[in-house]
């Protein structure tokens, strides 16, 4: 029996007056407006390239487009908020102009970037730091009245590899998310999506443990985003590279769906949408 029956998991979010139903899992397509993100296929710094990728992802079935202008791969170069904003805004404006119905999530930990992006037409803030790297983030999201993706991470992208140490991994991640959600809720932010932060201050075995225990996060009664697409935890396990990790990604996305994921954040939308369709066929044909 699904734990959603016990915990009454919240499965809708309000996106500028549009109610998005997460009862059926949704797919979020990743577009990186950076020259150095870990997977080369996701790098679309030119406006025309980003627009073409947006069109492809929407046609392939993406519900959300996640735009990132700051590389958060381990050891990535730290760029200024101004440079991040300058990369983001022209693409957001172009997407608004060409794909007005597209729902844009902005991958940033900076409140000023989040505000500029939402004012330009973005809809959701996806913060890898859970508000830790900018104390103004929570109050800014509350004022903007947009959904917020709350992710677990320790340290910064520059030093998080050294932070991958835990006494009780699951409890530490769960407590972090619970405390942060309490603070968000106190500010009037009710549309919160949680993300355990696979690969962020976590070794591969940590990430696999969290995948196994994904259902236990339902105690927070919040929708869950899983972002494991082409990550090291996959390509190291199968002995390949990020470029060759699509099959492993699809396999792990399917396991995440079976364990309660509501949103898959991916580089390859078509394959993720197909995984959702097969998962739903299995669930609909249960006795």
| Residues labelled catalytic | 231, 265
How does DSSP assign the chain, residue by residue? --THHHHT---EEEETTEEEE-SS-EEEEEEE-SS--SSGGGB--SHHHHHHHHHHHHHHT-SEEEEE-S--STTPPP--HHHHHHHHHHHHHHHHHH-TT-EEEEE-S-HHHHHHHHHHT--EEEETTTTSS-TTHHHHHHHHT--EEEE---S-TTTGGGG---SSHHHHHHHHHHHHHHHHHHTT---EEEE--TTSS--HHHHHHHHHTGGGGGGG---BEE--TT-HHHHHHHT--GGG-HHHHHHHHHHHHHTT-SEEEES-HHHHHHHHHHHHHHHHT--
- Pick from 122, 126, 60: nearest CA to 269: 60
Alpha-carbon distances of 109 from 80, 140, 167, 242, rounded to whole Å: 12, 11, 26, 24
CA dist 93 and 87 (Å) reads: 11
**Alpha carbon 203 to chain centroid distance?**
19
Give the span between the Cα atoms of 125 and 127, in whole angstroms: 6
């Amino acid at each position: 029996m699904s734990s959603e029956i016990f915990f009454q998991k919240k499965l809708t979010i309000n996106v500028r007056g549009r109610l998005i139903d997460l009862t059926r899992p949704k797919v979020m397509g990743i577009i990186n407006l950076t020259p150095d993100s870990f997977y080369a296929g996701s790098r679309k710094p030119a406006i025309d390239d980003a627009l073409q990728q947006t069109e492809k992802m929407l046609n392939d079935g993406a519900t959300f487009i996640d735009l990132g202008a700051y590389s958060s791969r381990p050891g990535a170069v730290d760029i200024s908020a101004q440079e991040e904003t300058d990369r983001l805004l022209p693409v957001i404006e172009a997407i608004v102009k060409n794909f007005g119905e597209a729902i844009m999530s902005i991958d940033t930990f900076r409140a000023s970037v989040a505000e500029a992006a939402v004012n330009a037409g973005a809809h959701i803030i996806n913060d890898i730091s859970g508000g830790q790297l900018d104390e103004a983030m929570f109050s800014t999201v509350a004022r903007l009245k947009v959904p917020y993706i709350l992710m677990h991470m320790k340290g910064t992208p520059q030093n998080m590899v050294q932070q991958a140490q835990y006494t009780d991994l699951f409890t530490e991640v769960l407590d972090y998310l619970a405390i942060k959600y309490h603070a968000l809720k106190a500010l009037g932010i009710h549309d919160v999506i949680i993300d355990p932060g696979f690969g962020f201050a976590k070794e591969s075995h940590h990430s696999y443990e969290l995948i196994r225990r994904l259902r236990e996060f339902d105690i927070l009664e919040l929708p869950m985003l899983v972002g494991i697409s082409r990550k090291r935890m996959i390509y190291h396990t199968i002995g390949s590279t990020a470029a060759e990790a699509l099959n492993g990604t699809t396999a792990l996305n399917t396991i995440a769906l079976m364990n309660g994921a509501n949103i898959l954040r991916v580089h390859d939308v078509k394959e993720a949408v197909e995984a959702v369709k097969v998962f739903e066929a299995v669930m609909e044909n249960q006795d």
